[in-house]
A and B are shown apart, each in its own frame.
Chain A
Amino acid sequence: AQSVAQPEDQVNVAEGNPLTVKCTYSVSGNPYLFWYVQYPNRGLQFLLKYITGDNLVKGSYGFEAEFNKSQTSFHLKKPSALVSDSALYFCAVSRYYGGSQGNLIFGKGTKLSVKP
């Protein structure tokens, strides 16, 4: 069965410091990995995805994520956090198997709080 774990309910970072939001996954076959951000009372916004190729993926708003197959992780990172990055972040996985993509499985979300 597919699953996604976001081990931290909340991450606190000072503005200007690097941030990391952790995600590990379990899926059979080739994983498709995604990060989304949600601001209060809004829908989810797509940040970035890994399908294949370079393990380091760059996305919107200066975010990037590194796919690590041996550790089954896909951590979200940003070199310098902004107060406006404060939001709820979701990791999601689907598997590509038999020529088609399965539905997304979401983690429970990590609340990022960036203090000035």
Chain B
Amino acid sequence: SQTIHQWPATLVQPVGSPLSLECTVEGTSNPNLYWYRQAAGRGLQLLFYSIGIGQISSEVPQNLSASRPQDRQFILSSKKLLLSDSGFYLCAWSGGSTQYFGPGTRLTVL
């Protein structure tokens, strides 16, 4: 069966520091991968998606970037965090019509 992992689970970072969040998927090959942010409140905002290694589409211009160095690995990065980057970051994968989500990373920027 397929599983999706995210780490770290929680992160507290100062403004201006770099960021690296990792997402890996097991039990499937060539998945579509997604990064979402859920701000305080509820709504989910699609940040990036990838249909293959090195293929990244950005949905929202911002100081975040994404990379897919391996088939089942998706990384979210920033060179300098802003206060507004705080939120709950969710990675998801799909192999068909349904997206399946990871456990999330709670990021607090102080």
Binding site for B on A (CB under 8 A): 32, 34, 36, 41-46, 49, 51, 88, 90, 94, 101, 103-104, 106, 108-109
Across-interface contacts of B6 in A (CB, < 8 A): 43
Query: In terms of DSSP, what is the predominant structure of the interface of chain B?
Result: strand
B17-42 vs A, Cβ < 8 Å mask (1 yes, 0 no): 00000000000000000100000011
How many Cβ-Cβ contacts under 8 Å join chain A to chain B?
Answer: 45
Q: Which residues of B pack against A, CB within 8 Å?
A: 6, 34, 41-44, 46, 49, 59, 88, 90, 92, 97-104, 106
Interface of A: prevailing SS? strand
The verdict on A43 contacting B42 (CB below 8 Å), with A34-B98, A104-B99 known, is no
Given the interface pairs A106-B44, A109-B43, the reply to whether A43 lies near B49 with Cβ below 8 Å is no
Q: Are B98 and A106 neighbours in the complex by a CB distance under 8 Å?
A: no
Determine the distance from Cα of A103 to Cα of B49 in the docked complex, in whole angstroms.
9
